[in-house]
Structure 1
């Protein structure tokens, strides 16, 4: 598969992830975040996974890798503020992170 095809597949997956997250969010948050913000959060989640060492972690005896969602949320809130994207409520961002994780679960990527 070529590099260009990889980008198109990643873009299509991000679109599906954003749609899943929008459906996952509680009603009061559905209109709060625009798509561009959700794409930004997905990028930060991916960045956190890459930089935190989670992707290289050894699974436990049951085959699971423990991901502390509150650490992911704290990373997003901190990076968004330092990137000048604004200040976000960690409790609201937690729903986005949970939605992204549930999407991965629905694909069998995460248990």
Structure 2
């Protein structure tokens, strides 16, 4: 964990650069030095002058399509979705919660 140090020593910066050039990950480097992985990346970029590109593992997960997008892709004469399908279950639970929480009580 970090101990709140503000300044970086030249030895720490050179260690970050050498470990990264050897192929070590940012978390491993940060644990070894005792700093955060974000600050290690920042110091590496600052020292080498080259921006760090995201690896495929760091990129965001694909976004789940919205229900409206799925409806637009279906043919008008296609059969209905089977019971237990995630979209059907989501619609069912949505209807139940709206009825339970939104209906006025008599």
Report TM bin, short chain: under 0.3
Q: Which has the higher helix share?
A: 1
Structure with more relative contact order (C-alpha pairs < 8 Å, separation 6 or more): 1
